[in-house]
Chain A
Amino acid sequence: MPGILHRMATTERRSSQLLRGVLDLCLLAVVADEPAYGYEMTKRLRSRGLSIVGEGSIYPLLGRLERDGLVDTYRAASDGGPPRKYYRLSESGRRALASGVSEWASARDAIDAVLGLHATEVAA
């Protein structure tokens, strides 16, 4: 039982660390096509299989993206609710997203090459 709990904690920690490194890219990606407000972004991430529960919150990250000029913000009325603060990708944000996706693909390929080889050895 302690071994199972330990493995679960290790898995959760690793997932959390992996996501933390690319969460900013994910946020840029979910507003690339259509602007969104904070909670809406959380829902879009969740609908694509990413839960931010273990990651704290997206708001500080949004703050950094805004400060760095990677997203622009504006206020607009939402469906029947109060005006919301919407985030949309800026031009530099679009460039950062393209560059980040490229970096992620390179890293993923390299890691796949290592872990895929290991998986083959284990299977053999």
Chain B
Amino acid sequence: MTFVDDCRREWKRLRVPDAVANEMAAELTADLEEAALEGASPEDVLGYAVFDARAFAAQWAEERGVVGPEPAPRRRLVPLAFVIALGLFLVITVSGVALLVDGGHFASARVAVGTNFPAPRIRKLLVPPPSRPFARGERQRVFILPGARRVQLTALPPPPATAGLVFLGVGLGGIVVTLATWLVLGARRRVIV
């Protein structure tokens, strides 16, 4: 990769029009070749700029006023996606912790409605925590409704701890992976800029 090649790459990055970039490259190449034939070094032609092709090319293009328009600013979709993913994994983590700490409050209950038990119709429903959650160890609660109808809530056993562990693992893992990806992409973007 020669000095002129490095300049070309920088001009391409700066969206310098091809015709102008070709002209500058040809001018530079011809001067460097003539200097080499006379036994002069590239430094004799370029001064200290010879040590930093990128800065030299950028300065030349800028002084000539041929730097292309800045690329449109990156839309904020990527950061937004990371925030959403982090939020999602955080919810999963919290759910996992909640399941591990007190799964009973989130347990399902078997609901039976009828006048005589065993009830004729038994449905399994997922119920939200009632106004008063099942206490630890409480297995059954009976309500008497008008018309002598009875509602019997029977707490189902809390979900096994493995569910909580799985939620916790997925949530924490997701948070770590999301943050790492975010940091790596951000660092790469800073390097490119």
Contact = CB atoms under 8 A, between A and B. Distances in A.
Interface of A: 37-39, 42, 52-57, 59-61, 63-64, 66-67, 78, 81-82, 84-85
Given A53-B44, A56-B59, 13 more contacts: A38-B27, A38-B28, A56-B48, A56-B49, A57-B60, A59-B56, A60-B60, A60-B63, A63-B60, A64-B63, A81-B34, A82-B26, A84-B30
Interface of B: 23-24, 26-28, 30-31, 33-35, 43-49, 56, 59-65
Contacts of A81: 30, 33-34
B46 A67 contact: no
16 contacts: A37-B30, A38-B28, A39-B30, A56-B48, A56-B59, A57-B45, A59-B56, A60-B62, A63-B63, A64-B63, A66-B64, A67-B63, A84-B30, A85-B23, A85-B26, A85-B27
A54 B48 CA distance: 6
Contacts of A57: 45-47, 49, 56, 60
B47 A53 contact: yes
A84 B27 contact: yes
